[in-house]
Structure 1
Amino acid sequence: MAYLRPADLAREHGISPQAVRNYERDGLLPPAERTDSGHRRYTERHAAALRAYRALVPAHGYSEGGAIMRAVVAGRLDDALAAVDRSHAELLRDRGTLDAVGEVVSRLAKHPDGSGRAPGTNRPFTVGDVAHRLGVSVATVRKWEAAGVLNPRRDPSTGHRAYDADDVRDAELAHFLRRGRHPLELIATVIRQVRAAGDAPALEATLADWRRRDTARGLAMLTAASLLSDYLSSEKN
């Protein structure tokens, strides 16, 4: 069997030999054999483990990638696969959010200024006004507020809710997304993104960036899965 030094493993990834030793110490690589003089003797199995861990980080993040690799090295394969599944579920949820944002961008773009503000919303609206405008109950509008979808200010003299043009736009977008059966938690996320972006062009640019990042993460997950499979195969040899 050909043995490898820490420096041999480190060279492939452009890291220090000490980083390799730290990975072993932290349970990210299987324990290495030692020579009589105490030097580590790594094998191709360790090299496969290091490749897998380094690929897991961009795919799942440092914390989750580390948890996956430690579980694999410790022989807790089901725990590792459950962590992988959680990341895939998270990415799927993100894609659902992006689809909802895409629907909102299309709707906002129909307005001349790209803001999504409908005419006639310059004055403050009451919760009853908003409910009537949308054809829903006051209780529904309040439920959206409780879920974080809407955040109207309060009239300091009466304590009543006062919806401005942006609040009415958010309510209309929420109503639109609810008709598409999107959950309130997702809608709240989308509305926060709309508020942060300000208008359709800015939101569209942000959306394109989010999609690129999700695509890159999905591809990284494929690479990590392949290298993790290589490591698991090396354990059997």
Structure 2
Amino acid sequence: MHIRDLARQTGVSPKTIRYYEQIGLLPPPQRAENNYRCYTQADVERLRFIVGARSLDLSLREIAAILALSDHGEVPCPEMIDTLDQHITVIERRIADLQALHSLLIALRQQGNRNATLWEDCVCALVRDRALATAHNAGS
């Protein structure tokens, strides 16, 4: 199949397919007599894996490491599980940070007075003072 067919089957643009070839995620394709790229069903499956992994926010480096194991005849599942565990940890940490930020924003909003005097007893002053306190704590 040609690159346009591979693109249609996977939803990946020809430009991205060529890029994945360039960085080694996809092997160099066979070439037809007219020098057109020729792809196989194995290329379709590999590209679908890449698309699926990217949809889970795996980096191209992480995907390359998993594919390299498979290419060398090793079972890539333990590496995939470790990678997923790392992403889960990062996401859990990010969720906790976002929940803390959410609580802080709600507290600031509740302290805010729409009729306050600018920069004295208003929410803008609370935000300003928080920045000063954060800078002071970072310097400690």
Question: TM-score band, normalised by the shorter chain?
Answer: 0.5 to 0.7
Partner of residue 127, structure 1? none
Which residue identity lines up with residue 23 of structure 2 in the other structure? D
RMSD: 3.3
Match of 2:79 among 83, 86, 96: 83
Relative to the length of structure 2, the TM-score reads 0.55
Q: 2:9–2:44: 8 Å Cα contact kept in structure 1?
A: no
In the superposition, relative to structure 1, how do residues 76 and 97 fare at CA in structure 2: closer, same or farther (>3 Å)?
same
Query: How much identity, in percent, do the aligned residues show?
Result: 24
In the superposition, relative to structure 1, how do residues 8 and 59 fare at CA in structure 2: closer, same or farther (>3 Å)?
same
In the superposition, relative to structure 1, how do residues 40 and 87 fare at CA in structure 2: closer, same or farther (>3 Å)?
same
1:1-237 aligned within 5 A: 4-63=1-60, 64-72=62-70, 74-75=71-72, 77-78=74-75, 80-91=76-87, 93=89, 190=96, 195-198=100-103
In the superposition, relative to structure 1, how do residues 56 and 37 fare at CA in structure 2: closer, same or farther (>3 Å)?
same
In the superposition, relative to structure 1, how do residues 49 and 93 fare at CA in structure 2: closer, same or farther (>3 Å)?
same
Between the two proteins, the alignment pairs up a number of residues equal to: 106
Q: 1:27–1:70: 8 Å Cα contact kept in structure 2?
A: no
Q: 1:10–1:17: 8 Å Cα contact kept in structure 2?
A: yes
SS of structure 2 residue aligned to 1:67: helix
Q: 1:34–1:41: 8 Å Cα contact kept in structure 2?
A: yes
SS of structure 2 residue aligned to 1:52: helix
Structure 2: distance between partners of 1:96 and 1:61: 16
Which residue identity lines up with residue 103 of structure 2 in the other structure? G
Unaligned runs of 5+ in 2: 108-140
Which one scores higher on RCO, CA 8 angstroms, separation ≥ 6? 1
Q: 2:32–2:38: 8 Å Cα contact kept in structure 1?
A: yes
Q: Deviations over 1:67-108 (max 9, x none)?
A: 323443x32635x4443122232255468769xx8xxxxxxx
Relative to the length of structure 1, the TM-score reads 0.36
Structure 1: distance between partners of 2:92 and 2:17: 38
